[in-house]
Every structure is written in C-alpha cells, then in structure tokens.
Structure 1
Amino acid sequence: MKKSKYILMILAAGIFSNCADKEKDAQPKGTENFCLKENFKEKVTLESVKKEKVLENIHLTGNVEADPNKVFQFESLVNGMVVNTHFSLGDEVTKGQVLAELKSSELSSLQAELATLNAQIKVFERRLRSTEELFNDGVSSERDVLEVQSELESLKAEKEKVGNNLELYSASTQKGVFLIKAPASGHITSKSINKGEQISDDSGVLFTISEVDHVWVMANVYATNINEIKTGMKVQISSVSYPDLSFDGTISLIPKVLDEETKVMKARIILDNANGFLKPGMLVDIIAQKQLDASEVALTTKDVVFSNNEYFVLVYQSDCDVEIRKVEILASNDETLYIKNGIKEREQIISGNQLLVFEQLKNF
C-alpha cells in the first residue's frame, strides 16, 4: 500500500513539472530574462514614434537644357572663307569678343561702294553751295536747290546703310576681313565653324552661345505618371557626374501636349546654376515627391531591422520589456518608411545599435 502511494506521488510531481515546462515555453519569445544593461543602454537611443504626411517618391528621367530665351545662334550674312577662329566648344565668352575672322569679296565691294559714296557726297555738297549762291543772286530757282538737296540726302542715306552693314559685319579695314563677334555673353554650346572652311549665307548656324546661370531640366513624364505629376511638386535632381550632390527644385510648368518625337510629356524645372555644375545636354535622374492625404507612422531607414525579407522594430516598454515587432511598409522614399501596421503613434522604439539588441533578443 505504501509502495503504491509512493508511485502516485512521483507521477504527480512529473505531471506538474511537465506543465511548468510547457508554461515556460508558452511565454512570448524575447521577453524573458532579457534586460538592457545600464552601460549598454547609454549606447542606444530611444525615440517616440510620430505620424507624418506620406510623401511618395516618383522616379523620372530627364535632361538639362539652356533657357531658350537666353540662347543666341549666329548665322553668316555673307560668303567667304574662315581665316581664323578664337574659341572652342564650352568656352565662356563676353559680348563683343572676336570669335572668328572671315575673308570675303563682299568686304571689298562694300568698302569700294563706301568710297564712291563719299566722293559723290563731296561733289553734291559743292554743287549745293554753288546752287544756293546762284539762288541768292536770282540766277537759279528754289526748285534747283531742292533737287540738289534731295540728291545729297539720298547719297548720305545710302552711305549710312553701307556703314551699318560694315559695322554689322564688324569689318576690319586693316586686316581686310570681317570680324565675327559674340552677340552676347555666355558659353559656347555648339560650334560648326573651323579655320579654312568656306561658308555662305545659307551655311546655317555657325555657333551657339547660351547663358547657363539658370537652366531648364526637362523631366520625361510617361503616360503612367501623368495623373500623379503636378505643377508645384518638389523634386530632387541628381546626376552620375556628381554622385554626392543633389539639386532641389520645383516643377514650374507641365505642357498640355506630348512631345511629338518621344511621346512623353516634358515637365519643366528651372534651376539656379550659378556654380555651373549642370551642363546643357546632361542626363539626370529626378525624384518627384507626391504628398498623399494620409498620415502614417514615419520611421527612418535607420530605425528598422531588415531580416529574412521582413522589417522589424524594437518596441521599448522598460529596460526588461523590449519586444521585437514586425511592421508592414505602406510607402517609402529615400530616407523615410511609412508604416501601414505593426506600431502605433507615441510608442517608443530603440534607434541606434538596435541590431545588437535584436540579435540578443532572438536568443531568448
């Protein structure tokens, strides 16, 4: 009898022990026997979670262009041969600077015409004085005087026209060439003129000068993004030429039609370019920031732990109550993650060295 009673007591102890073990296993993982040590707590940062308006990034591509209102194209008005050039593509030039010299037979013709007109003017000036004297003596009529005056004024008008043409072509009588001068200050953005080349008045654009203190960035807006891109949206612009730089701007104009060649809508962004980093023709990446009506919990990429293709945060209640919690991402941009669910506003999280805490908690 005593032996049976002893066996029952052993069985009961085993059952209670097994239940205790199961109860121990049922406790939430990451909450038992873990506490932030005082010396390590100084190395982590606690942050209270806040809600923010959701900013969604929309990626676009584009290119840099000079402001068309500040682009000056030069076309030759005369025929001739280029005897010298004084500029290269990309050079900065000032208004009136001599860029090229052009030898042309038209210069000789204009100079000869000017000399002939000067001689004729002198003849008619003498004739006018003589006619006026005869008129005063009653020998000539007033009509005779007016006819000579009219002819003299016509010659002077023709001389002024020839002189204006010579000035327009910046003729150098000493060198016997036309001097092609910069019509404005800026940078040479195209050049199709070289020493020894024969040009004519139908040769097209010889060079282009563009002012690039302000440039246009033309963003390619494809059909899938047309409803999302709006005037006034903030954008960030980057280029592989400057991997550590970004340029902030605002979409200033969205046309009502698609570009005929590319079949995309070209949104315009005007940027200050006083430092000259952005060059016409440069390809750029554009991030347009779309603000949604919703407000959600916002975390930085440094606040979360990415493990097994999932995002986690460490929710802090006390030094001995830290929970690993999975969160779901609603939207994101370069530095901010907007949380759909998994954490509430004003909860505290561990930010900074959270990966070390995460690894320790996984072992409990």
Structure 2
Amino acid sequence: MIHPPYVKVGNIGFLIGLLLLGTGCETDEAQKVPIEKKTYCIPAALKERLVVDTVHMAPVTESRRLSGKVDYNPDRVLHYVSLVGGVITRTYFSLGDNVKKGHVLAEIRSVELSSLESERKSLESRLTVAVRNVQATQSMFEDGIASEKALLEAKSEERVIRAELEKTRANLALFSASEQRDVFQIKAPASGFIVNKNINDGMQIAAEGEPLFTISDLNQVWVTANVYASDLEFVKANMPVSLQTTAYPGEVFNGTIKALSQVFDANEKVLKARIVMNNQTLKLKPGMFIDVIVKKQTNAQALLAPQKALIFSNNRNYLVVYGSDCQLEAREVEILTRDHQDIFISGGIQSGEKIIAQNHLLIFEELQNAKK
C-alpha cells in the first residue's frame, strides 16, 4: 500500500525558521546601505548675484539717527540785485537752469539808460570839440599868438571831458547796456544753478530792491542735522557720519560734522550740526530731507556682520557660511546687539569666516530642504 508523502511538524517549523532567518538577513543588509545625501552647489546664474562678506572683530557701536535737511552752501550763493530800475522786457532763464558766467539772463528797459546814452553822446561831441581846440591853441602857441595859459586851459578841459566820458562808458558797461536793443542786459555774474527767481516779463523793478534771482554752485552743499539733548553724547565735531535718503534707497553718503552749535534753537529746542558735503553728482538737492546716522564706539569688542546677512527662521537667527560653491552651511548664531546696518554676534561663528550677505535666502531654503 502506497502512502502519500508527508513531513513531520517539527521539520516544517525548522524550514519556516530558516526562511525567516534569510529574510531578516536581507532586511539588515538593506538597512546597512547608506542613503547618499545630495550636496547643494550654488548655480552659476545665482553666484553672479551673490555678495560675500567676512565676519571680523570690531568695537561694539551704538547709533543714533538724526533728522537733517540739505541746504545751500552760503559761501557759494549769489543774490543778484539790480542797480537800476525799469521794466523787465524779456527773461532767458527758468528756475533750476544751469547758467554760465556772462550769459544774458534778462533785459531791462530803463529811463536811466536813455539818460546815460544821451550823456555819453553829449560828452563824445564835447570831447571832439575839446580835442580840436587843443590842436588849434597848440598851433597858435607855437606861432606866438596864444599864451601858454590858454594852451594849458584847453588841455585841462579836454582831460575833464575825457574822464567824464570814461566814467559814463564804465557805467553803461556795468549795466551791460545794449545799443542795438536799447536795453540794459542782466548777465550771470557767476556759473551755477538758478535756485530762486523773482522776475518775469513785464515786471516793474526798483533799483537796489529785492534780489531778482539767486545763483548757487551745488557742487558743495550743507546738511544741517537736528541734535536733541538726549543725543549729545553721540554727536561730536569732526566725527564721521553716514547719510541716507528715501530718494536713493540703499545708497549711503559719507561726511563729517564740521561744526556743532553751542546754543539750542529757541523754536526747535535742538542744536544744529553742520555737515559739508561734496556734491559733484548733484544728487543732494537743497530742501531735501535726509537721515544722518552717528555712531558711538564702546570699549567692548564683538564679531561684526552686516544686518542684511541675517536670516530669522523659526525664532532662530542664521547666517549662511560660505566655504566654497559646494561647501555651504546654514549656521545658527547668537546675537549680542544690533546697530543700524550691523549686527554684533556673541557665538556660533568665528572671526575670518565668510558669509553670504546678499541673495542668500534661496540658498538657505535649499540647505534646509537638504536636511529633510
């Protein structure tokens, strides 16, 4: 009798155990294989827009922001007052124009011009007669007809008339008289910008009245800053300052406090600090409001980095540390204090390490994603 094949229960358990053991070994082996982390490298297109800075030790500073205003340099301002009265027949300039010395800016029709012109013509005629009289008297003196006294009187009269004529001509030149147009011409006494204008065509003006216009050389301007009593310990004469205005975001102008008043302004209750600024680019316009930042140094030292390099994420402060294009680290740092555009660091980074100070947010996000 043939019996079906069979396997003892004990043997079945043994076989199942072997199978499970083999499977477990394969799982352990799979777990031992390390997962390769992706290394983030800065793309070439992004690298061109990066700004790299270096963390370094520096004196801890405290800043104050003062309100200021751009003014003309009074040593480079010229107010033009007419020496004659009359009617403005024509103007050749507008407010803000850049004019050159000697350019005709306006014309005045004046009764004084008619008077001077009439006097000039009369003196020229009298001088012609006086010259002929001298010549005739000289001839008669040589012939023994006229006396020496008569000759001297003739020459004296010629000199007097000639002097009066030169004076009249000088006055006409002073007023820039134009014989062709029968007007006085107002010419620019200096080169610069028209910063104030008080005349128009057809306007009646008086001699030595109000200034007709003002010319200023804007290549150098003054910035006047308001200093309150609470800011006095931060502001000293001859100290460097930085200036910023909303007209040019991100741009910093550097200057020096040349003078600090010692008497508080009765109306504003402030001292006035004067900063002389070179302005060849003409960016600083008179009347423009501007912020003046002054810094006071302390005796403490700390690591310094630009404020714009700092990243705040999940209630923590980070800097992107740069080793190379493929060696980057989002490093948590401890902030000691902040001062305007700077931060002072108490821990988390070493002096001399490089950080990315601009266009670094994308890199920070990539580094954070690489950790997940």
TM-score range, shorter chain: 0.7 to 0.9
Show CA shifts across 1:44-102 (max 9, x none).
Answer: xxx99642122332211212222222212111111111111111100111111111111
Q: Paired residue for 1:156? A: 162
Query: How has the CA–CA distance of structure 1 residues 271 and 48 changed in structure 2, closer, same or farther, with 3 Å as cutoff?
Result: closer
Q: Against the structure 1 CA distance between its residues 292 and 159, is the aligned structure 2 distance closer, same or farther, given a 3 Å change threshold?
A: farther
Question: What whole-Å deviation, never above 9, does each CA across 1:321-348 have from its counterpart, x for those lacking one?
Answer: x9967x45334121x2124x56686598
User: 2:82 aligned with 1:76, yes or no?
Assistant: yes
SS class of match (2:249) = strand
Please, which of 251, 256, 275 is the counterpart of residue 250 of structure 1?
Answer: 256
Aligned counterparts of 2:73 and 2:257: Cα–Cα separation in 1: 15
The answer to whether the 8 Å contact 1:55/1:333 transfers is: no
Q: Which residue is equivalent to 1:31?
A: none
CA pair 292-359 structure 1, distance change in 2 beyond 3 A: farther
- How far has the Cα of 1:219 moved from its partner? 2.0
**Aligned pair in 2 of structure 1 residues 239, 300: CA closer, same or farther (>3 Å)?**
closer
| 2-structure distance, mates of 1:181, 1:360 | 73
Is 1:147 aligned to residue 153 of structure 2?
A: yes
Which whole-Å deviations, capped at 9, do the CAs of 1:207-247 have from their partners, x for residues lacking one? 01111122222222222223321233222222222224332
After superposition, the Cα gap between the structure-2 partners of 1:263 and 1:109, relative to the gap in structure 1 and judged at 3 Å, is: farther
Aligned with residue 210 of structure 1, among 216, 219, 239: 216
The answer to whether the 8 A contact 1:304-1:313 is kept is yes
Structure with max Cα Rg = 2
Alignment match, 1:39: 38
Q: Does 1:225 align with 2:234?
A: no
Q: How does 1:132-211 map to 2 (within 5 A)?
A: 132-211=138-217
Counterparts of residues 118-137 of structure 1 (less than 5 Å) = 118-137=124-143
Letter in 2 for 1:332: D
Distance (whole Å) between structure 2 residues aligned to residue 125 and residue 314 of structure 1: 94
| Deviation for aligned residue 1:152 | 1.8
Alignment of 1:290-309 (within 5 A): 290-301=296-307, 304=310, 306=312
User: For residue 86 of structure 1, what is the aligned residue in structure 2?
Assistant: 92
Q: Is the counterpart of residue 330 in structure 1 residue 329 in structure 2?
A: no
> How do residues 309-348 of structure 1 correspond to structure 2 at under 5 angstroms?
312=317, 327=334, 329-334=336-341, 336-339=342-345
2:60 matches 1:54: yes
Aligned-residue offset at 1:200: 0.6
CA contact (8 A) 1:311 1:328 kept: no
Q: Deviations over 1:102-124 (max 9, x none)?
A: 11111110000001111111121
Letter in 2 for 1:270: V
Which whole-Å CA distance do the structure 1 matches of 2:94 and 2:56 have between them?
Answer: 56
Measured in 1, the distance between the counterparts of 2:265 and 2:279 equals 25
Q: Aligned-residue CA RMSD in angstroms?
A: 3.7
Q: Secondary structure at the match of 1:295?
A: strand
Residues in 2 aligned to 1:323 and 1:180: alpha-carbon distance in whole angstroms:
69
- 2:55–2:355 CA contact under 8 A, matched in 1: no
Distance across 2 between alignment mates of 1:147 and 1:233 = 72
Q: State the shift of 1:291 in Å.
A: 3.0
**Structure 2 residue corresponding to 1:101, chosen from 90, 101, 107:** 107
Counterpart Cα distance in 2 of 1:91 and 1:153? 46
What's the offset of the Cα at 1:312? 4.2
* Equivalenced residues, count: 319
Shift of 1:40: 5.5
CA distance in 2: counterparts of 1:90 and 1:342, whole angstroms:
54
Instruction: Answer yes or no: is the 8 Å Cα contact 1:83–1:196 preserved in 2.
Output: yes
CA distance in 2, matches of 1:323, 1:171: 77
Residue segments in structure 2 that go unaligned for 5+ positions in a row: 1-35, 43-52, 322-329
Equivalent pair of 1:314/1:349 in contact (CA under 8 Å): no
- Partner AA of 2:117 in structure 1: Q
Shift of 1:270: 2.4
Distance in 1, Cα, partners of 2:344 & 2:293: 17
Distance in 1 between the 2:207 and 2:114 partners?
Answer: 17
* Change over 3 Å in CA distance of 1:312–1:245 after alignment to 2: closer
Deviation at 1:188, TM superposition (A): 0.5
- CA distance in 1 between counterparts of 2:311 and 2:181 reads 76
